[in-house]
Structure 1
């Protein structure tokens, strides 16, 4: 009987921990030479902006939208970001001069965002902006490892 009760308690904690996994706000972490700026909506939709500390490497971003994973480095077009109603087409792809210019204006808008959405595959999801201004830094900030290819 005690084993069954213990197993039930462990499974209950596992399920409860899983359901509370969403942070609903921007967070940042550093691991293996990469700063990761992340946000999720608690429903499986998320954005991860990965910025390597190695100055010879550029940023990349990954998103999950309605259960499907997308990458900014993908040849299939990545994903779009909508900031306060303005659409930015695959803004984290920076492997061309024009792309770099687009990224710079996108980043400036992102830092001021009140409303943030991701879009791909015919789906659009809302992401929180809570704590965004505390986590993301201007491109020229000394603590910002996010840089474009160009």
Structure 2
């Protein structure tokens, strides 16, 4: 049987869950996820798990936070004045905000908390510091 290898474009159905069983993402009921192995398009642990799989194979893997979205960095949680957020934005906990960094890059933040004076924003990826479990099914390999 053909095994998926670096350079192959693959299609994978997946379901991602946290250690408590909470599902955070899934391709089930949608098109499978397509990516090219060896291109760094996926978190490393996910991609490494697909290498060597055969067509139709199912596998469950757990990726430690360090191999997924990294550990949480508390220095990326900051308070900003409410006046720094445009007044037309209706804030809600968990909403995503974007800002432009000093070098012109787009920065993404999650609203962690807010009041009339301050907004607490978190620049960590929402899955940072979390171990992730994926149920994988390899549905296509194209060399």
Larger radius of gyration: 2
More strand by share: 2
TM category (shorter chain) comes to: under 0.3
TM-score, normalised to structure 1, is: 0.23
More helix by share: 1
Q: Which has the higher contact order (CA 8 A, sep 6+)?
A: 2
